[in-house]
Amino acid sequence: MLDLHGISRASFDLVVAEEVTSQSVYERKYRHALEYPGEQSGPTGGIGYDFGTQTKAQIRADWADKVDAAMLSILLGASGKRGKAAAAYCRATRGQVDIPWPVALDVFANHDLPRYLAILERYCPGAGELGPDCRGVLWSIAFNRDAAGFVKSGARYAEMREIRACVASGDLARIPGLIKSMQRLWPKTSGLYARRETEARLFEKGLAEHHPDQHERLEHVAPAPDPDVVVQVQARLRELGYYDTGAVDGQLVPKGRTEAAILAFRHEHDLPLVPGIDDDLLAALARAEPRKVADVRANATTQDLREQGVQTISITDQVKRWAGSLFGTGGSLSVAGLLAWITDKASAVSGAKDAVGGLGIPPQAIVWLLAAVVVLAIVAGLGVLIWSVAHKIEVKRLADYRTGKNT
């Protein structure tokens, strides 16, 4: 009897079916060959075991007691091979592999499953507390899409990040819609498109059986917005001067920064005060002019920010004073000043050289004097560099304030 480590048999069978279809298909198609699924995958065998992404130590731990030495050598050779190298390795070893169904099932259930459940819990804390179907569905997504997707940036992983947030907050009723929203990433004829549909339905079943209060909320949950559309809205809001929108990441988190920016835009353009994205909002965004900034803000100076007690300006002032002290000019520097300083020191060295030469002082003393001036020049150059960086930060902070990016 298989140990399913707390997930349901339905979710376990779902992943097996998606990876190899069935035992009979496995015996015919996958038993005697490593397959190359495409893109950056590695040679894959057993039930979805990607040898290319595993270390040799991990492969040895998972397979050493299940295959003979010759077979293990072939499996170890797949480690680290991705893309074209993986495809070539699969062709080169075709017919040399033999992984019987019981062995593949054993590794999948007793090695892959617990390992990926642990990874899932690391990237999606709280997943282990869900009912067997719900936990199994999230494991399926982690196994298929990479559990790190729950924290990866970008619109492609927007739904996974939101699922992570829903698990943390207990808002499980939103998750089936988010799983279905992932279908946007694949054509409708794709197996992954169908897989997301199956996962969403199984998650709903899990809610009904183990989280009934969340299941009752399903019919009241609005469909998840398309992250690609959210990205367009976020980018457009920032273009218009609504900088509190936050990151352009494709996420429309309830009561989050993007929702707040949408409400602010709606208020200023006499649209219904709802936080969602609809055709009226998209049309208004398309024709809107950039948000106006008050004249007093648009014409602000660094001194204005200094008087307001802006911390960035306070820090850059301190850094510039320190850098100026290295150079010997206090807090003010310029290229002309630097050239004048170097010219002055060079003249001093030349005069000293003539003087010590007339007195018959050894050349070694002159060398030490020159070295001292070089050290002073390096210290002065460091001061100029530090001062310049602080000045650029100050200029950027002022520009952001004038355009409304910062308060």
Compute the average pLDDT of residues 374-390: 77
| Spatial distance between the Cα atoms of 37 and 357, rounded to a whole number of angstroms | 80
pLDDT in tens, 87-122: 999 999 998 999 999 999 999 999 999 999 999 999
Using CA of residue 374, residue 376, residue 381, residue 386, what is the dihedral sign?
A: positive
DSSP string, 293-304: --HHHHT--HHH
Q: Which of 231, 214, 221 is nearest to 180 (CA)?
A: 221
Burial label, 403 (beta-carbon count in 10 A; 0-12, 13-18, 19+): middle
pLDDT single digits (tens) 234-268: 999 999 988 888 888 888 888 889 999 999 999 99
Per-residue model confidence (pLDDT) at position 335: 46
- Per DSSP, the residues of 231-276 read HHHHHHHHHTT-GGG---SS---TTSHHHHHHHHHHHHTT----SS
For range 167-171, the mean pLDDT: 96
Residue 61's H or E segment, with its range, is: helix 56-63
> Tokens 């990040």 sit at which residue?
161
Flag whether pLDDT at 396 surpasses 90: no
What is the value of pTM for the model shown?
0.69
Determine contact, residues 155/250, Cβ cutoff 8 Å. Answer: yes
Place of tokens 């290295």: 326
* Cα–Cα distance, 242 to 301 (Å, whole number): 22
Q: How far is CA 312 from the centre of its chain?
A: 27
